[in-house]
A and B are shown apart, each in its own frame.
Chain A
Amino acid sequence: MIGMRLLRHALRTEARNHLKVVRHFSKDSDAMNSGVERDPSQTFISPEVQSLLKELTAVNLGKVFEIKRYQEKLGTPKYKFMTDEEVEIARNKAVQQSAEKLQMPPVLLARKENPEVLARDPILKGYDPDNSTYVFTDITFGKSDHDRLIVKREPDGTLSKVTWEERDNINQVYFPFPGRKWTLPKMFEPEYFDDLMKREEYVFILDRACVQFEPNHPKYIEITQKTYETINEKKSFDKLRSTRHFGPLAFHLAWNKQIDNLVLECLQKERIDDAVRAIQLLHIIHQDSKSINVQFDGNNHMEFIKNYTNTDSLKQGALSLAIETFEQTALQRQELLSVHNS
């Protein structure tokens, strides 16, 4: 979709600069040292991170395809008698369909308004008595909204490319995005946004943000980050599991070194694998973290988590308590099973 095109564009520029994707770690550390904001897009798109995020989402097909409350008209269900094989085939088809529903909106830096000036013709000043700006759009079929040539001639004679804001508006005129509104929906205003956060309607606002804004729109980044912070505070990660927003949420938390609540929640729900994955994600993003000394080899779940708890985590007490509780319950369960079996 549009966001993916953006990423491909970003990657193409990188390739032009003869830098491989693998080397982005060193490049980012240089960027950090120089004070420039670190670009999350390439880390986000890397295969290791993507696979970790997908697994963290813990897809439950039933929840992916559940009825959304804001449906207009309900229909009667249709029934079919199926054999085992037919059910399997139908399920696989549903998994393929779910891939589209679970496409993660990309994490990008906020776009900067710096339109390129193509020509300056002060001789054209005053050609229009109303002093209006003229916008010329290339509406050729097949061009993307991002790359399309849109230029404007201002009353003082300057011919320049349009700003990102103007680009969004012009694209909406000629190629309207279904569901996108011209003016900022009231939902994103602080008063209503806070109310939605209070009501824990995270998926609702995130879906609306995806429809209304491009992933590199500053407002989109602001809204999503605020939502992720609220979820982190309230620890209601389960609301986003099996949706396409869990990946960006986990990435945001790891990017800002705030995975403690997530790890804690995973331990409390006995999702050790997810806890391990969250820490692994942190290691990939922040190569300079202290707990990177112990690697996960497939079996040392508790050791890996304990190492993180003792070194990098800010909630050492709560996490160690959770680990203890988990180990005790696991032990008790083993004892009960052995008693039952004997």
Chain B
Amino acid sequence: MALPLLRLLSNVPITINALKALSPGAGALLVKSPAIRAALILEPQCRHTSFFNKLPAQDLWKGVTSVSNAGRKRGRGKGTGKKTAKNLNRGQIIGVGKSNIMWPGLSAPIMKGKDLVKQQQLPEDSERMSKLIKMRDEMSTFRYLRLLPIERGWSGTKLPGRSIGPPDPIGDDTFEGFDTKVLEFKSVFHMKGNFGRRRRMSCLAVTGNGKGLAGFALAKSVDGRSALKRAKNRAGQKLMYFELYNNHTVMHDFFAQFGRTKIFASQKPEGFGLVCHRAIKTICEVIGITDLYAKVEGSTNLQNIVKAFFIGLLKQKNHQQMADEKGLHLVEFRRECGNYPKVVASPAKCRTKEEIKPNEVLDFSQYVMDGRVVLKKKTFPKFYTKLPGWERHLKKTLWCRNHDDVKMRMLVEHGEIRSFLTDKYPEAKPKTWKKIREEPQPEE
């Protein structure tokens, strides 16, 4: 009897009083039906059962988190935007719920001393729900990686510049003293006929033992971790030995090129440090070079820089080789040693002056750079030295030009900075200028 009325009423919104006026008997029935009530905008449609409590949790989550095949090809559902399934059972125990009731045998002991424990309702925990929600909110969020400064790479928490440990041991060969560092870690794509655009992770790693042995390798894999591992192990397979000068720098200045990337490297003394491109710096760290200046010119393609640097290192000659090649003594002059001629390498048979051709290159720097001459740019004076105020500044600061040295000497000899009046008046001690100086409180 209500059915035809339903069909009518679904289209027309009518008030209850109007309905009651229509037929008094049917009024109560009409109001009870949820569908009609929804239609009357008395209550929104409310179902007490649906797929929500009919399906298992796994299927529900799958519906929310799954990505289509097309989407997966585009790289969706991976990385930061990924929706993760959360286990809502976490933080909840059977027997503990919204209405805080104590269940002896389940959530409470049966006997308390000699008395039986009764089922009782405890005051409600208002914070319970908020705690659960907070925990669920934190579940899927990416935990920010805390790195120590020493572990940091070139930038932030990114992998380039970071160490990934020594290569995996092969049988009895353990890579003792080896450390691998990542130089490049990027996602690369290639097109396949059947699959279309395919993504892989590419990793360029360099490994070395800090004593002259090093190797680098490039490896690609679908996931990052296996790419790292592959690159690390492959680098361990391709080791090269480089001779170092006094275990801290290259044997001599060199020029090396790969593609359009050019590197000018020069030998530097102890304490200079690694003043070069960060990739070259990382490579030097694993090889064991501590002092070097390298200028990269032309293209700065990282893989080409690495290759060019390794080519340069491989082409190096040690002192004995150079002496043998030239048939002359190789003599070292150091300013710190009073320019004493120290013969570092001698050939088996030394040539005489007559045997040397007049146009032969005898200059060491030319010989070592293969005829190239490094451009030394003219250093112009700073712009401010041409301004009129500069002369004034020089005149003003002339009177205190040795004050730093005097300060140091005074602190060494007297322990404090004093003036010629401090002997007579101990409180007359020169102080640094301060805009607002705290006056010492007079003791009472």
Contact = CB atoms under 8 A, between A and B. Distances in A.
B332 A78 contact: yes
A73 B337 CA distance: 12
Contacts of B413: 183
A103 to B, nearest CB: 14
A80 interface: yes
Contact of A80 (B334, B338, B340, B364): B364
Give the one of B266, B331, B413 with max A CB within 10 A.
Answer: B331
Interface stretch (B51-59, B153-161, B267-275, B307-315): B267-275
A138 to B, nearest CB: 27
A84 B336 contact: no
Contacts of A76: 266-269
A277 to B, nearest CB: 26
B330 interface: yes
Nearest to A182: B413
A67 B336 contact: yes
A62 B341 contact: no
With most chain B CB atoms within 10 A of its CB, the pick from A83, A87, A90, A91 is A83
Contacts of A84: 329, 350, 352
Interface string A56-100: 000001101111100100111111111111010011001001000
Interface size for chain A: under 10, 10 to 19, 20 to 34, or 35 or more residues? 20 to 34
B254 to A, nearest CB: 14
Nearest to B335: A75
Interface string B402-413: 000000000001
Interface string B269-288: 11100000000000000000
Contacts of B352: 83-85
Contact of B271 (A66, A74, A83): A74
A74 B269 contact: yes
B364 A79 contact: yes
Nearest to A90: B341
Given A84-B329, A87-B343, A91-B341, A77 B351 contact: no
A88 to B, nearest CB: 10
Contacts of B435: none
Contacts of B326: 81
Which applies to chain A's interface (DSSP): helix, strand, loop or mixed? mixed
A68 B362 CA distance: 31
Contact of B362 (A64, A65, A71, A81): A81
B333 A77 contact: yes
Given A74-B271, A84-B350, A183-B413, A79 B341 contact: no
Q: Which of B266, B271, B337, B356 has the most CB of A within 10 A?
A: B337
B316 to A, nearest CB: 14
Nearest to B414: A183
B72 interface: no
B392 interface: no
Nearest to B361: A81
Nearest to B328: A81
B34 to A, nearest CB: 91
B74 interface: no
Contacts of B271: 74
A71 B335 CA distance: 11
Q: Which of A61, A90, A97 has the most CB of B within 10 A?
A: A90
Given A78-B333, A79-B364, A62 B342 contact: yes
B216 to A, nearest CB: 27
A51 to B, nearest CB: 24
B353 interface: yes
B340 A82 contact: no
Contact of A82 (B266, B329, B334, B336): B329
A65 B328 contact: no
B331 A67 contact: no
Nearest to B341: A90
Contact of A75 (B336, B343, B350): B336
A87 B344 CA distance: 12
B353 A77 contact: no
A171 to B, nearest CB: 19
Contact of B333 (A79, A81, A85): A79
Contacts of A65: 337-338, 340
Interface string B189-217: 00000000000000000000000000000
8 contacts: A61-B340, A65-B340, A77-B334, A78-B334, A81-B329, A84-B329, A87-B331, A87-B343
For the complex of A and B, the 10 pairs showing the least CB-CB separation, nearest first, are A65-B340, A74-B269, A90-B341, A81-B328, A79-B364, A65-B337, A67-B336, A78-B333, A77-B334, A65-B338
Interface of B: 252, 266-271, 326, 328-338, 340-344, 350-353, 356, 362, 364, 367, 413
Given A83-B350, A101-B338, 20 more contacts: A65-B340, A67-B337, A68-B336, A74-B271, A75-B334, A77-B334, A78-B334, A78-B364, A79-B330, A79-B331, A79-B344, A80-B333, A81-B326, A81-B331, A82-B341, A83-B351, A84-B329, A85-B353, A87-B343, A94-B338
